[in-house]
Structure 1
Amino acid sequence: MVPRQEAGNARGLAPRRNHPSRLDDMSNQQSLPAPRSTGQAGAISNRRSTAIPFVKMVGTGNDFLIVESSPGRFASLTRRWPAIARAVCDRRQGIGADGLLLLEPSRLGDARMRVFNPDGSEAQMCGNGARCVVRYLAARPRRRNSTVVLETAGGMVRGWVRPPRRKDFQAGRGGERVHLQMAEPTQVRLGLEIPVGGRTLSAASVDTGVPHLVVGVSDLGAVDVHGLGRQLRAHRLFQPRGTNVDFVEVDRRASHRLRIRTYERGVEGETLACGTGVAAAAVIHALTHHGVSDGRGTRRRRVDVITRGGDRLSLSFRLVTQGAQRVVNDVVLEGPVRWICHGAFSWPLR
């Protein structure tokens, strides 16, 4: 059983047993009266706050707060989601998470997923976050279609859920396996030479929904992820928005297995995992290490990536030849997802 998580600003926080079909089921109360407080001048505040139900989920080390909206709901908070994300993602004074995922109605899919980072910035896409949302939406009762389609600022993605594998239980890793077919990788740049800190690094970059710089290393444990990652994240080559930075080591015993550490833009630090980063590392590895493609890409290839948190994410894809170039397409990210808890927090936080 997942232990109860405590959060000073959340109410009704409970471990996941029977997850709700909708966040609406957890709280029908749209507003909570704020406690009466007396300031220096003796004034009494009767300001009301809004109750916001959430579900917390984890995808291979990345934890997210999922909030579901609907037409007219949370209308007063339209411009406040960046501030809300900064507050509730704070691990010391909030609930704690790698991001806030806001689900809104979509005419193109099951939902529109907006991604707010802990610093309040809005990202175009989040691979592990999307996998968590796929698991959340797939659990709704009377759902007939097993495939979930999400609209994101980085493109349309679709996903589906598979039962956990026996070897995952044997290794103590539970959780359903969630597959996510991602948007096609774009803006591939190989053979980059980047001057930083008095030296030149060889790297490559790709956009897998958000931009990533992939740096190959021989000793992943010796890398100063925070220091070097911060310099590369804001490097002039990637201005004005910057980039995520992935340090990648190829397993000497199996060339299809990688190890990765990621400095995430928006988190502004190292995270235990990053889905789009795993995809970026695998794509660059395929283009630089997989030799000759099979022409039409009839054979799927697979790369396993071990994250900082010790979890394994897999990326399967097709490597095809288009003219003089090799291209990676039909990209599917796969890994476990777990439900953690659900509850509600009030905004403003009290």
Structure 2
Amino acid sequence: MKRNRRYPVLSESIFKVQNQFFKGHGLGNDYLVFEEGEDFHVDKRAIIEICDRKRGIGSDGIVLLAGRRGPPYQLRMFNPDGSEFERSGNGLRILGSYLMKEGLVAHDPFEISVGGDLVTMEIISNDSKGNYDVKVDMGTARVGNDAVDFDSSVLDEKGRLQVNDYGSFELNLVSMGNPHCVVFLDEWEPDLLNKIAPILCEHKAFKSGTNVQLAHCLGEDAIEALIWERGVGITSASGTSACAVAAAAVNSGRVCPGHIVVEMEGGSLQVSVDDEYRVVLRGPVQELYNGRLTDGFVSFLE
């Protein structure tokens, strides 16, 4: 897949981590959690190698916990192409599960600092088998063409964007702290994702690129969606994408504010959107395993 270099990426800057990691997934969207430490250096190339599913551990991204001073706990997030991004709903829930496992939080709400914002999280429940039910207050969604850094001059007189020969589409733009472009379809055409999402994701009108979702309303409180993540590609599930789809559906009058179920390839997430576009995300996390890298692989990374 072509990588778009307009996204924020690590340059020559290097951080150091402990040689131990936690891996979990939310509906098939998996992340690795590393803590800052002194064991080995990590740069963009190392992130790419670690996330590689054949030559590394394999994941949809890395969450870096910047020490155990908290709450609020400081973190950074990275795509598997090495680009740093603003936030991930699934990544946040996986990080929350890790904090619970390590005894750093309990079942009371706690705060995380990510992308310059404070996010409130709560572990609703967990069990001895590594299953977690996590709720995240995602803050207020911003909706409309001004919500993301978008050049609206590319739209036609009807406010739609022509995407090659695939047709013209109404773009529902949402910021959840990261940019989203939601395309609602009256008739479900899942094959359309592979055609238009790569084009929209890297379209010149989006200064920093965008995540893309195809969505179709199933009823008054249910939406199905397919996800294309910036810096990743097709993803089975995405927390911020689910939030963006729900907020866009409310903004466009397709559903009313309230509790909305967003069904994705990996499963369903529960999203609540109020009249002020305050968004709360709730969904499962499955702990997979803890591990450490071999000395040989660490040497290769450095």
TM-score category, normalised to shorter length:
0.7 to 0.9
CA distance in 2, matches of 1:142, 1:115: 20
Quote the offset at 1:307 in angstroms: 0.9
Counterpart of 1:148 in structure 2: which amino acid? F
CA distance in 1, matches of 2:92, 2:143: 21
- Secondary structure of the residue that 2:220 maps to in structure 1? coil
Larger radius of gyration: 1
CA distance in 2, matches of 1:154, 1:188: 22
Contact 1:82 1:122 in 2 (8 A): no
Quote the offset at 1:81 in angstroms: 3.3
CA distance in 2, matches of 1:272, 1:142: 29
**Paired residues, what number?**
270
Alignment match, 2:292: 344
Matching residue within 111, 126, 130 for 2:73: 111
Matching residue within 85, 88, 96 for 1:134: 96
Alignment match, 1:41: none
Does 1:146 find its partner at 2:146?
A: no
Structure 1: segments with no counterpart, 5+ residues: 1-49, 166-173, 294-299, 320-326
Does 1:242 find its partner at 2:209?
A: yes
Quote the offset at 1:312 in angstroms: 0.8
Contact 1:69 1:105 in 2 (8 A): yes
- Secondary structure of the residue that 1:236 maps to in structure 2? coil
CA distance in 1, matches of 2:69, 2:290: 27
Q: How do residues 268-287 of structure 1 correspond to structure 2 at under 5 angstroms?
A: 269-287=233-251
Q: How do residues 1-350 of structure 1 correspond to structure 2 at under 5 angstroms?
A: 52-70=19-37, 73-74=38-39, 77=41, 80-105=42-67, 109-141=71-103, 143=105, 146-153=108-115, 155-163=117-125, 175-186=131-142, 188-189=144-145, 192-198=159-165, 199-239=167-207, 241-251=208-218, 254-267=219-232, 269-289=233-253, 301-309=258-266, 311-319=267-275, 327-329=276-278, 331-345=279-293, 346-349=297-300
Structure 2: segments with no counterpart, 5+ residues: 1-16, 147-157
Structure 1 residues 223 and 108, CA gap change in structure 2 (3 angstroms):
same
Contact 1:157 1:180 in 2 (8 A): yes
Quote the offset at 1:141 in angstroms: 3.2
Structure 1 residues 318 and 342, CA gap change in structure 2 (3 angstroms):
same
| CA offsets 1:204-225 (integer angstroms, 9 cap, x no match) | 1011021000000134453332
Quote the offset at 1:135 in angstroms: 1.5
CA distance in 2, matches of 1:243, 1:301: 26
Quote the offset at 1:270 in angstroms: 0.3
Contact 1:220 1:261 in 2 (8 A): no
- Secondary structure of the residue that 1:237 maps to in structure 2? coil
Quote the offset at 1:255 in angstroms: 2.2
Structure 1 residues 344 and 219, CA gap change in structure 2 (3 angstroms):
farther
Counterpart of 1:96 in structure 2: which amino acid? G
Structure 1 residues 157 and 102, CA gap change in structure 2 (3 angstroms):
same
- Secondary structure of the residue that 2:103 maps to in structure 1? coil
C-alpha RMSD of the superposition: 2.7
Q: Percent identity?
A: 28
